[in-house]
A and B are shown apart, each in its own frame.
Chain A
Amino acid sequence: MYNYVEDGDSKTTAYVEGDQDKYEQFMARIEAGEKIEADDWMPDEYRQSLIKLISMHGISEIMGALPEKEWVPKAPTLKRKLGIMAKVQDEMGHGQLLLRVAEDLMKPYERTREDLMDDLLNGELKFHNVFHMPTKTWADAGLVGWLVDGAAIISQTNMLDASYGPYQRALQRICQEEVFHAQHGEAIIMALAEGTEHQREILQEALNRWWPALLMFFGPASKETTGSSKQDVMIKYKIRKSTNEELRQAFLDKYLPRVFSLGLTVPDKTVHYDKAEEKWIYQQPDWDEFKQIIRNKGPRSKERLRLREIAYENNRWVRQALAPETVEV
């Protein structure tokens, strides 16, 4: 799943004085479509933006496993139990891939996965807004798989040509698995949409609940909305191609017709496609709430962090026990 959270301006300059030649060479390389590797020279701004982006992306996968996981042991059939387990396992796996990429980037700072976990738990490392939300019924599990993963696919495929090689290669793997996730989500949704009245009801309720979070998923259209945005830097360095709003429009393009085709509605009467402007018109979600959510003040932020904290602290003895000096292999 995905992704980055935009919060707070990091005041990095592109490069330190005296590095102008290196910077120009670097920019020429990425302009030429070359891939940057972990041990290549890169501008501080590039490294730090990547660390921030990829560690948020990775930790969001790890935190993103939790809301769906709530429904893993409860899945209603053997087949669904297997499917959702495999899906949530993939989220952990994506977290693994991305954290490895971030860890290699952090090497010059002598920071490790342990530091990332600490940052998450003390609130310095944010995770994506959607994973602060509750999953109240089985329909939420389906909806997350269908639409949240759908949104994730839109933003991740947009970075499949990213200039940073290790990230690009991780995304390649991730996006391949996302195809399964999308169909896993669709299968749950389809059964509910074609099911009993109760099933259709919980599906519509779930969609109503998730709608604002889905709009928020891509971040604000411009930094004026929330006070900061990293999208320009990401585009400058060829990490992603499109703006937040372009991605959101692409998501609405692909998914709203499907939503409507299932007889579902969205909780926004103003939603329509404006043919003249060639874009979807929708009511802005509450961006102040968005800011609160990603500052770990969302509906389930505390509980999810608590789960992560317990799992981390409670298993510390295992990591201590097997740390290399002491175990003979």
Chain B
Amino acid sequence: MIESAEQAKKNSVYLNALKELLYQLADDDFIISFRGSEWLGLAPHIEEDVAFSSITQNTMGHAAMYYHLLEDLGEGEADAIAHDRKPEDRRNGIYLEKRNGEGTYLEEPYYDWALAVVRNYFYESFKKVKLEAIAESCSYKPLVQIVNKVLMEQTYHLAHWKLWVSQLQQAPKDAKERIENRVEEAWDEFGDVLQLGKYANEMVEQQLMISEDKLKEMWTKEISSVLVSYPEKPLGNKYGSGREGDHTADLDQAIKTFSEVYFSDKEAVW
């Protein structure tokens, strides 16, 4: 067991794999929470808006905890890590950066609730599998401690989106089709979320994570019990792999937005 940041820094192979894993966890939560924050005030009804926002806040809180772990490892200040990194340095899955729909949150937001439901369900079911793997077998104690906390409230997130996906896929034709279409789309784009990036082998060797294959297997089991139908083909990486630094213009838009004030005066205390 590696007890502290200082101890982790002593082994560069370990350190690199650990940082890579933390960037993935942090960037995934950060970007999906950003997309959630764009939805604020625009959900199908007010009660859901409030509930959704709690999930978004929790998720941003999780990202912040991972960024602080990176800060402890000497990667700079958490706020700088979150706001001031180029797209190619970001490790989130590409599907998670996808825009919420047509328009922007400021103008003509034709956001698609079916995308929100499918994406969040896919993500939260994946997050559960990944975090449980860390909780059970990760060798970096500061991360395990945080993950155990995150799992406490993440249970609600998954239940929430599972309910939405379950009810909408049982609803009349129109809603059902919307969900099915978004599931098919996700199938072509979700592949990289389940990848571990360039240090995948080291992560396994250093006992930081389970293997990609195992991760994928467990996730598939999770969703196959809930989704009424999903494609038989393998998951795709339509736009490349976010774990390797590939990203789309949607991430550029996201960075421009979430860093706008931060960039307006980097020296300032906000």
Binding site for B on A (CB under 8 A): 62, 65-66, 69-82, 85-86, 88-89, 92-93, 95-96, 99, 138, 188, 191, 195-196, 198-199, 303, 306-307, 310-311, 314-315, 317-322, 326-329
Question: For residue A322, which residues in chain B have a CB less than 8 angstroms away from its CB?
Answer: 167-168, 171, 175
Whether B111 sits at the interface, judged by CB under 8 Å, is yes
Chain A residues within an 8 Å CB radius of B270: 76-77, 80, 138, 188, 191, 195
Any A CB within 8 A of the CB of B239: no
Give complex CA distance A73, B32 in Å.
12
With a cutoff of 8 Å between Cβ atoms, the chain B residues found around residue A80 in the complex are: 270
Contact assessment for A196 and B38 in the assembled complex, using a CB-CB cutoff below 8 Å: no
Q: Is B40 an interface residue (CB 8 A)?
A: yes
Q: Closest residue to B39 on the A side, CB-wise?
A: A311
- A64 → B minimal CB distance (Å): 10
B49→A326 contact, CB < 8 A: no
- Of B44, B53, B261, the residue contacting A92 (CB under 8 A) is B53
- Whether B213 sits at the interface, judged by CB under 8 Å, is no
Q: With a CB–CB cut-off of 8 A, which chain A residues contact B57?
A: 82, 85-86, 89
| B258 & A74 in contact (Cβ 8 Å cutoff) | yes
Contact A78-B175, Cβ < 8 Å, known A89-B57, A310-B109: no
Given contacts A196-B268, A311-B41, contact A74 B260 (CB under 8 A): yes
Cross-interface CB contact of A310 among B38, B108, B113, B269, cutoff 8 Å: B108
> Which segment, of B7-15, B60-68, B133-141, B147-155, faces chain A?
B60-68
* A-B pairs under 8 A by CB, number: 148
Q: A70-B106, A74-B261 are in contact. Are A311 and B42 (CB under 8 A)?
A: yes
Contacts of A303 in B (CB 8 A): 107
Contacts of A326 in B (CB 8 A): 171-172
In the complex, what's the smallest C-beta–C-beta distance from B113 to chain A, in angstroms?
A: 5
Q: Determine if B218 is an interface residue (Cβ-Cβ < 8 Å).
A: no
Please pick, from B46, B103, B105, B111, the residue contacting A62 in the complex, using a CB distance under 8 A: B46
Selected from A74, A315, A329, the residue in CB contact (under 8 A) with B43 is A315
20 interchain pairs, CB-CB under 8 A: A62-B41, A71-B261, A73-B34, A73-B258, A74-B258, A74-B260, A78-B82, A85-B60, A89-B54, A138-B261, A191-B269, A196-B267, A198-B264, A306-B108, A307-B42, A314-B111, A317-B178, A320-B174, A322-B168, A326-B172
The answer to the question of B262 belonging to the interface, with a C-beta cut-off of 8 Å to chain A, is yes
Report A302 CB to chain B, min CB distance, Å.
Answer: 12
**A328, B170: Cβ atoms closer than 8 Å:** yes
Given A317-B174, A318-B113, verify A78-B78 contact (CB < 8 Å).
Answer: yes
CB of B41 within 8 A of CB of A195, answer no
A96 touches B50 (CB 8 A): yes
Indicate if B56 sits at the interface (CB-CB under 8 A): yes
